[in-house]
Amino acid sequence: MRIALASDHAGFQLKDHLARSLAAAGHDVTDLGTDSTESVDYPAFAEHAARAVADGEADKGVLVCGSGNGVAIVANKVAGVRAVNAHDVEEAEMCRRHNDANVVTLSGAHLAPAQADAIVATFLATDFDGGRHARRVDQITAIESATGATETPA
């Protein structure tokens, strides 16, 4: 699977760990930065990875910041992205099964590497249930269209 991976400085160490874990599991990982713990602004990195998913350059995205919240907010501004900040494997499973989430965000400050590995593995291995849930995902897409979220800002 093609994975777009990005973080800010607070998520760098966990992202670096995940890059190695995902590659070892046979995934094609595109690490979109950051490359150190030096302070950076997370929106640019999160947007780059989210756009890779939305544009079909990656199958899924994994984003890390201190809380996982900031990168989730940014990713969800990109039309076609459904990002969820998962705190455990159950949330990772349910966001895939019911919401067809295509980006998972993680807290670099609160998750140990083993926890993050389990969350990401579950996220990547879980299929979308479809059915009644597809109708709801279609409604999300309709909201994106109605609000102009599909347009790229000038």
pLDDT per residue as tens digits for the range 57-113: 999 999 999 999 999 999 999 999 999 999 999 999 999 999 999 999 999 999 999
pLDDT value for 154:
40
Provide the pLDDT confidence category of residue 130 given band limits of 50, 70 and 90.
Answer: very high
Tell me the residue type at 145.
S
CA count, 13 A, side-chain hemisphere, 37: 6
Rounded-to-10 torsion of CA 76, 77, 80, 82: 10
Provide the pLDDT confidence category of residue 143 given band limits of 50, 70 and 90.
Answer: confident
Could you list the active site residues? Answer: 65, 98
Greatest CA separation for the chain: 45
The distance from CA 134 to its chain's CA centroid, rounded to whole angstroms, is 20
pLDDT value for 83:
98
What is the pLDDT averaged over residues 2-11?
A: 98
> What domains can you pick out in the chain, each with its CATH number?
2-147 (3.40.1400.10)
- Using the Cα atoms of residue 129, residue 132, residue 133 and residue 134 in order, give the sign of their dihedral: positive
pLDDT digits (tens, 9 = 90+) for 15-35: 999 999 999 999 999 999 999
